[in-house]
Structure 1
Amino acid sequence: MAVRTPSQPSRPVGAVTRGTTNPNRLRRMDRWMADAHGPALRRSTDPVAVDLGYGAAPWTAVELLGRLRTVRADASVVGIEIEPARVAGAQPYARDGLSFRHGGFEVPLDGGRRPALIRAANVLRQYDEDDVTAVWDRLRARLAPDGLLVEGTCDEIGRRHVWVAIGPEGPRTVTFATRLGSLHTPSDLAERLPKALIHRNVPGEPVHAFLRDFDRAWAAAAPYAALSSRQRWIRTVSALRADWPVVDGPRRWRQGEVTVTWESLAPRG
């Protein structure tokens, strides 16, 4: 479904998702956001985060509040859903710092508030690739000046994630995150690439070359598996840095993560 332009009637923008949700599904993404965006949240004069398209149950919004409050005690979360029945069903979970409202990509917040953080997880999978840029532009225009949009995809129980971090100026980084014990090869994460990249995992595209090199480095690090899958991952990412702009370090690698610049994986053409 095409994304409506701002000139069209004021009503929720977007389409209803499947609504699949499970407790702790987004824990890897949440922990990364609390760490990477924590300094900006602590500086914010209005530390409000939006859980956009939280789904059929409000677990992800409840969990997001708890994780953000580890870095900012007065952080608040607004869960936004385009399906009115889901909003009504979430109301019993509302409490101080946590509310739910009807809306979509227009991100309706009271009083013209601009969120310090927007998380849009598993929201764009059903959209066309050509719609992604318009959605990103609409969402990042709603951010506070030091805000962050995190858009990506994960599996049903949160073992594998890939997300893009987007500032008001545009996309910044891509993060790959996994439960290491479940990983056969790094390219297993290809099925969780966000919509902007999933159709670009073909020869000639940067993301395909990255995953190819990731698998090769993983194979070369096989002897480290005798120590642990974590040690193998750390060795793999360390080797990957020789050819790819990895922007994080061993502290995050130990969590089964690696983050690279958006520019290095951005689609060609």
Structure 2
Amino acid sequence: MASSPLGRPTRGTTGTNRLRRNDRWIAASPAFRRAADPLVIDLGYGASGVTAFELSTRLQRVRQDAEVLGLELDPARVATANDQLLAVRAGLTPFDPDLRVAFARGGFEVPLPTGRRPAVIRAMNVLRQYDEADVASAWRTTAARLAPGGLLIEGTCDEIGRVASWIDVDHHATPLRFTISLRLAELEHPSIVAERLPKALIHRNVPGERVHALLVDLDREWDRAAALSTFGATQRFLAAVGALRDQGWPVSGGKSRWRLGELTLPWAAVAPLP
């Protein structure tokens, strides 16, 4: 294990169910489902180990052999998570005492003493305090630890997990997809996600940039579909996303994902302009 983990300590706390949308995305991903070794890293899990426990719970519903390793730079946070794990093992929490979870100290270098390579590395709310220029380097360092065909999922969400976005990055550190995930109930405008864009995009939400055009168009179609609110926010979102696709936006997936408040596009559709 590295004596000096790479990265800066995360400042945020950790909320129960904050990363549920991202958990669901990982559980459905081919990188996880088809992995020879379904090891998933929760990088920079925060002040509590709860996100790793929740992730493990959701992944083991899909694959009983799934394992989760939570990594943090701060030794005190690792100690806290390990104390929480003892309570889980003792049956003192709602989590399964047999969850395949562990915690260790580590950063972007993703230390794995046994030489294993994870199928998925999740790094949510980790790069927010970095400069945009630091993103590519962090992707390269972290993605290099992935198994072939593995996935780095890097992004941001709000404190209660109702607004989130992330980028799927492959083991060559090449960004593949961009996803927005929103709680549709009581949603005023989809562009609320502008406050929670990944570091690679958050400063690009300005006229002339692709991600700005996406959010403008999505808000417009959301407003145009207002009459469908009578049938619920889900129907309104389905109509808005369908209209985006009809306009030429390369929206991927289908209604089963859109119903969850998810919108995914190839990275090229939103990538920052040179």
The TM-score with structure 2 as length reference comes to 0.92
Out of 210, 216, 232, which is 1:212 matched to? 216
Question: 2: distance between equivalents of 1:117 and 1:18?
Answer: 23
3-state SS of 2:152 partner: strand
Give the superposition deviation at 1:181: 1.3
Matches within 5 A, 1:96-115: 96=98, 97-115=100-118
* Structure 1 residue matching 2:185: 3-state secondary structure: helix
**Equivalent residue in structure 1 for 2:179, among 172, 175, 178:** 175
Note if contact 1:187-1:211 (Cα within 8 Å) is conserved in structure 2.
yes
Q: Equivalent residue for 1:66?
A: 57
- Deviation (angstroms), 1:42: 3.4
- Answer whether contact 1:41 1:71 (CA < 8 A) is retained: no
Question: Are residue 266 (structure 1) and residue 271 (structure 2) matched?
Answer: yes
Instruction: Tell me which stretches of 4 or more aligned residues in structure 1 moved more than 4 Å.
Output: none
Deviates more, 1:153-162 or 1:84-93: 84-93
Q: Number of matched residues? A: 259
Q: Does 1:252 align with 2:269?
A: no
Q: Distance in 2 between matches of 1:43 and 1:155?
A: 30
Task: Pick one of 24, 36, 39 that aligns with 1:45.
Answer: 36
Unpaired runs of 5+ residues, structure 1, are 1-8
Q: Please state how far the C-alpha of 1:10 moved relative to its aligned partner.
A: 5.5
**SS in structure 1 opposite 2:102?**
strand
**Whole-angstrom distance in 1 between the partners of 2:181 and 2:199:** 17
Query: Any unmatched runs of 5+ in structure 2?
Result: 90-97
User: Which of residues 146, 149, 160 is equivalent to 2:149?
Assistant: 146
For 1:31, the equivalent position in structure 2 comes to 24
Instruction: Measure, in 1, the Cα distance between the counterparts of 2:69 and 2:113.
Output: 10
Within the alignment, does 1:188 sit opposite 2:192 as a pair?
yes
Residue identity matched to 1:20: T
Give the distance between the partners of 1:17 and 1:231, measured in 2 at CA: 38
Aligned positions of 1:75-90 closer than 5 A: 75-90=66-81
Give, as a single letter, the amino acid of the residue that structure 2 aligns with 1:45. Answer: A
Alignment RMSD = 1.2
2:239 is the alignment partner of 1:235: yes
The residue that corresponds to 1:4 in the other structure is none
Cα distance between partner residues in 1 of 2:78 and 2:249: 42
Aligned 8 A contact 2:189 2:219 in 1: yes
Q: Distance in 1 between the 2:253 and 2:156 partners?
A: 20
SS in 2 for 1:213: helix
**Cross-structure match for 2:132:** 129
Contact 2:31 2:150 (8 Å CA) reproduced: yes
Query: Contact (CA 8 Å) 1:14, 1:105: kept in 2 or not?
Result: yes
Report if aligned partners of 1:159, 1:182 keep a CA contact under 8 Å in 2: no
In 2, the alpha carbon distance for the partners of 1:117 and 1:168 equals: 10
Give the whole-Å Cα distance in 1 for the aligned partners of 2:56 and 2:84.
Answer: 12
- What secondary structure, in the 3-state scheme, does the structure 1 residue paired with 2:161 have? coil
Paired residues of 1:19 and 1:54 also in contact (CA < 8 A): no
Q: Could you tell me whether the CA contact under 8 Å between 2:26 and 2:32 is conserved in 1?
A: no
1:46 to partner: Cα distance: 1.3
Q: Does 1:202 align with 2:195?
A: no
**Which amino acid in the other structure matches residue 64 of structure 2?**
A
Q: Give yes or no for the alignment of 1:162 onto 2:155.
A: no
